[in-house]
Amino acid sequence: MDYLNAIEEMTWEQARELPSVKCSDFREIIDEIDPPATFKIFKLSYPFGATILDTNAKLHIPFSLKTTHPIDHHSVPDYLKKALSYSKMPLGAVVKNAVEVYREIGYKVFSVGVLHDRAGLELGIWENFGWSPPYTLSAGARSLYMIPKITLNPAHKRMKRHFGINYPPPKRPFDHWHIFKEIASSDSFASPWHCEVIYFSKEWHEKLNSQDKKWYKFRDYILQRGWAHSAFGRKKVMMDFIWELASNALQNMGLKTSPYIIDTLKHIIFITLGGLPASRPAEGDSLLGPITDIQKAYIDVYGMKDYQPTIMQPHSFDFNLNKPVYYSMQTPTLLSSTPDTNSTTSNIDDIRGLQEAFLHFLSVDFPDVFIDNANFKETLKKITLKFYHGEMYAYGDIRPTRELVLDDPGFLFSPDGVDRPLAENGCFIKGCVKINHLSST
């Protein structure tokens, strides 16, 4: 049990040849600095689901290709503690697969974003300026949800025997990831998955904050990344301003709906602006985890033969892609909302209220407000929301969940090539909102 398989010590000459570093925008800057071989870089391999940064802003170090420990754990070598403890999260980059940044509160996962192996230098930016964000980082996606129910006791027992799972049958979609994580770490799982992260050691940090002119370009680059990272907050400030205008207009229109619905609509609009991720079905890629092989496990071991084992994964909305994203009212990612203790509304009532609020919102006459140099009113005209629920409640503009596959074949991705229908009564999609741009369906 050592770190040799999970940690590699590198020089810049070695790190610069990593595929994701070769195409990054900071490689040329560091090449110009030409740092000495004593300026170490550490490449760490994290297993799927492993914590990289915990809620206490404590870095985790992989103990093997299956487990991790906090950096202050007695088993972490002193040289690593000395090299990487200069910040809560040392400067670094994802160089293989992806990590998710999120906050877990109660039975909700608030996803902030996904950092992948083409994102460049993204880790430790906020921390470099002395701020420790209250978020968690995990290897692969935390926000993974199976659409079909996976609660059958006999089938789950087969999974427990085969993969050594300890977690009980999931009561809610929030619990699915815990089971996926156990499957992926099992000796019986044939497709090991890990993400790789590089961290710059203490020597880099000290030079970056020195008066050495040779390092000014790299310091400017970090400042630019910090400005880019502040986009979330800047967009949110603009959204708060827009929402104040909208709230007054909606009140004047006589719209009466719960604070929760208004906050949900605000959250969805923020998703359309690229401020936060939503979800979409996984279609065979392994960037966010060994998802396809987990799906196969549910076919072969659990015995899911009647439906496709569709898994939803985090995905940001992009006007340049014909890829709709989805927000689930039953698996909300809304971080906060004004409590409504008198509310007894059902999921279908919430969907109808959200639909009505959106139609009213479209009619608000906003002034010339710009977000990301784009006129908000013009951006809003390009957005389309579609609402889905189970067959029993679907009528008019609220469509049955079975119609999701008509617009988006991603729901029918087959991990083993066998055609199966969508599990249209799945919790995630019974009461979901499809977010797309108007040029698409």
pLDDT surpasses 80 at 439:
no
To 5 degrees, how large is the angle CA 364–CA 353–CA 396?
100
Rounded Cα distance, 204 and 185, in Å: 34
pTM of the model: 0.92
Both ends of the chain: CA-CA distance in Å?
53
CB 289 within 8 A of CB 193: yes
Rounded Cα distance, 52 and 388, in Å: 36
Burial of 11 (C-beta count, 10 Å sphere; 0-12/13-18/19+): middle
Q: pLDDT higher for 418 or 336?
A: 418
Superfamily (CATH) of domain 7-140+192-227: Jelly Rolls (2.60.120.10)
With both helix axes pointing from N to C terminus, report the angle between 231-252 and 259-272 in degrees, rounded to the nearest 10: 130
pLDDT surpasses 70 at 344:
no
CB 128 within 8 A of CB 85: no
pLDDT surpasses 60 at 283:
yes
The number of angstroms, rounded, from the C-alpha of 30 to the middle of its chain's C-alpha atoms is 29
Whole-number percent of the chain with pLDDT over 90: 65
Instruction: For residue 52, list its beta bridge partners.
Output: none
The pLDDT confidence band at residue 341, using thresholds 50, 70 and 90, is: very low
DSSP-assigned letters across all residues of 238-295: HHHHHHHHHHHHHHHTT----HHHHHHHHHHHHHHTTSS-EEEE--S--TTSSHHHHH
Rounded Cα distance, 111 and 289, in Å: 16
Q: Where are the domains of the chain?
A: 7-140+192-227, 230-437
pLDDT surpasses 50 at 1:
no
CB 44 within 8 A of CB 68: no
Per-residue model confidence (pLDDT) at position 254:
76
DSSP-assigned letters across all residues of 410-432: GGG--TTS------TT-TTTTTE
pLDDT surpasses 50 at 170:
yes
The number of angstroms, rounded, from the C-alpha of 33 to the middle of its chain's C-alpha atoms is 34
pLDDT tens string 224-250: 999 888 888 888 888 888 888 777 777
> Which residue do the tokens 């469509």 mark?
399
pLDDT surpasses 60 at 441:
no
Mean pLDDT of the chain: 90
| CA-based nearest residue to 38, from 190, 170, 203, 157 | 203
